[in-house]
Chain A
Amino acid sequence: MTKVPVQMTVNGEERAEFVDSGMTLLKFLRDKIGDLTAKAGCLQGTCGTCTVLIDGEPRLACVTLAEDCRGGTIETVSGLSADAELHPLQQALLDHFAAQCGFCTPGMLMAAKALLDSNPHPDRAEVEDALSGNICRCTGYEPIIRAVLSVSGSNVCGDTAERERCDGNK
Chain B
Amino acid sequence: MTLSYQTFSHPQAASRFLAERREARLLGGGTILVRRVNEGDISISTYVRLLAPELKQIHVADNTVRLGAGVTMATIAKTPALAFLAPVARSIGGPGVRSAATVGGNLFARSPHGDFGVALLVLDSVVCIEGPEGFNELDLETFFKSRRQLAHGSIVTAVRFRRPMPEDFRFVKISRVKPNGAAVLSIAALLSRTEGHVSAARIALGAMANTPVRAHNLEAALRETALTPREIERAVVSAAADTSPSSDAIASEWYRKAVLPVHLRRLLST
A residues apposed to B, CB below 8 Å = 1-2, 4, 20-24, 43-45, 48, 51, 54, 57-60, 62-65, 67-68, 111, 114-115, 128-134
- Interface segment among B14-22, B29-37, B193-201, B216-224: the answer is B29-37
Interface presence of B263 (CB below 8 A): no
Among B4, B29, B30, B180, the residue within 8 A (CB) of A21 is B4
**In the complex, which of the residues B2, B38, B49, B94 contacts A62, with contact meaning CB atoms closer than 8 Å?**
B38
Given contacts A45-B30, A60-B31, A63-B31, 17 further A-B contacts (CB under 8 A): A1-B2, A45-B34, A45-B93, A45-B96, A58-B99, A60-B100, A62-B38, A63-B35, A67-B5, A68-B30, A111-B94, A114-B95, A128-B179, A132-B95, A132-B178, A133-B180, A134-B94
What are 21 contact pairs spanning A and B, CB under 8 A? A2-B2, A20-B3, A21-B2, A21-B4, A21-B5, A22-B37, A23-B3, A44-B35, A45-B30, A45-B96, A48-B96, A58-B94, A58-B96, A59-B99, A63-B100, A65-B5, A128-B179, A131-B94, A132-B178, A132-B179, A133-B93
A46 to B5, CA, bound (A): 24
A interface, over-half SS: mixed
The minimal Cβ–Cβ distance linking A90 to chain B, given in whole angstroms, is 20
Nearest chain B residue, comparing its CB with the CB of A129: B179
Residues of B within 8 Å of A2, CB to CB, are 2, 4
Which residues of chain B are within 8 angstroms of A65 by Cβ–Cβ distance? Answer: 5, 27, 30, 34, 47
Q: Which chain A residues border B74 with CB–CB below 8 Å?
A: 57
Minimal Cβ-Cβ distance residue in B for A68? B49
Asked if B96 contacts A133 (CB within 8 A), the reply is: yes
How many residues of chain B have a CB within 8 Å of chain A?
A: 27
Residues in B77-93 with C-beta less than 8 Å from chain A: 90, 93
Question: How many whole Å from B90's CB to the nearest CB in chain A?
Answer: 7
In Å, the complex CA distance between A131 and B37 comes to: 26
Over the window 90-128 of chain B, the binary record of Cβ atoms lying under 8 Å from chain A Cβ atoms (1 yes, 0 no) is 100111110110000000000000000000000000000
Q: Are A60 and B96 in contact (CB under 8 A)?
A: yes
A134: B residues at CB distance < 8 A: 94
Taking a contact as CB atoms under 8 Å apart, the answer to whether A63 and B99 are in contact is no
